[in-house]
Amino acid sequence: MGRILIVDDTMFMRTLLKNILFSGGHDIVGEAADGVEALARYQELKPDLVTMDIVMPKVNGIEALKAIKAADPSAKIIMCTAVGQEQMVKLAVKSGAKGYIVKPFQAPKVLEEVKNVLSA
């Protein structure tokens, strides 16, 4: 089980992910609504894993991913975005993302992906 930081600009998605991850026995140590907040919360909380939305205001998920990886190369980050933005996968993977989930998602699959990334 892991300590997870959820980054998404919509409260609905954060709450949904929080419920799914909590049901899988994970601790939600924090939330952030944009890339700037994500980096600050990461440095403060040092979570085991981050779920990161891609399209966000101020600093987007890809930039936030790069910033977190620059600060901590061992950071485990799963990117999370909407259908139709799968093209971002390559960019995210190149930038160091460990996993990728596409909205809308189903709880058991998200938990499986989180488990895989945490145990990698």
Partner 1 sequence: MKSVPAKVEHEGRWVPTKVGIGEDRFRIDAPLKEEIPYKTVVNLEEKKNQIIVTAGADGTATYRIASVEKVLSVLKKFIITQASAYRLNAFFMSPAVRGGVLIHDARWEKGTIAVMKTGIWFVSQEKQVCIPLEDVAGIELTSREIQEKDLNVVKIDHLSENDVVTSFVLCPMTTLQVLYNFLKEATHDTEVSEEIDPLTGQVAMLVYSGMDSSSIENMLKLSHRDLDAIYEKLLDMRLAEVLYVRKEVQLTAKGVRYISESVKSQNE
Residues that bind partner 1 (CB under 8 A): 12, 15-16, 19-20, 84, 86-87, 89-90, 99-110, 112-113
CB of 36 to partner 1, least distance (A): 26
- Judged by CB, which is closer to partner 1: 2, or 39? 2
- Judged by CB, which is closer to partner 1: 43, or 116? 116
Q: What tokens were used for 47?
A: 């979570």
3-state secondary structure 9-66: CCHHHHHHHHHHHHHCCCEEEEEECCHHHHHHHHHHHCCCEEEEECCCCCCCHHHHHH
- Judged by CB, which is closer to partner 1: 67, or 79? 79
CB of 44 to partner 1, least distance (A): 26
Q: For the chain, report the end-to-end CA distance as a whole number of angstroms.
A: 13
CB of 105 to partner 1, least distance (A): 3
